[in-house]
Amino acid sequence: MRLPRTPSGWTIAVFGLLAFLLGLLGLVSPGTTLEMLGFEVLQTRAPGDYTLVYMAASSMAAVNMGVYYMLASAVDFRPFFLWTVPFRLVTFTVFTTLVVTGEAPAKFLGVGLWEGAGALITGAALWWESRRTPAARAA
């Protein structure tokens, strides 16, 4: 796999790697992920409690997303970088709202902040690149 060639590519690669690794953690140790997010970790689950199934599905989605991000950064797929910015801001809004309304524990705010900060950093890198190089303006 190629290393990213631009600052925006690096922001996407780093996010992808973190998503991939955290997704793997959720698959291997869902309790650790639940604890990191501020959710109660139960020793036994009631019939019909699909928390661990949801954690596996969510973690697998994070693994896949991480791979997509890393591949996009390796080929410098700038339209993808741009598309991530508004969608990550939506994710920030939804996750932050869940915490503010009391539907999610306070630690879950970290997910929203990670998404929001990542969107702003990628957006800033794209803006900076568009002002610095003629090739970036054409992308």
Residue ranges per structural domain of the chain: 7-138
Mean pLDDT across the chain: 93
Of all residues in the chain, what percent carry a pLDDT higher than 90?
82
CA distance 58 to 80: 21
CA distance 110 to 99: 10
Of all residues in the chain, what percent carry a pLDDT higher than 70?
94
pLDDT at 132: 84
pLDDT tier, 138 (very low <50, low <70, confident <90, very high otherwise):
low
Residue pLDDT, tens place only, 33-89:
999 999 988 888 889 989 999 999 999 999 999 999 999 999 999 999 999 999 999
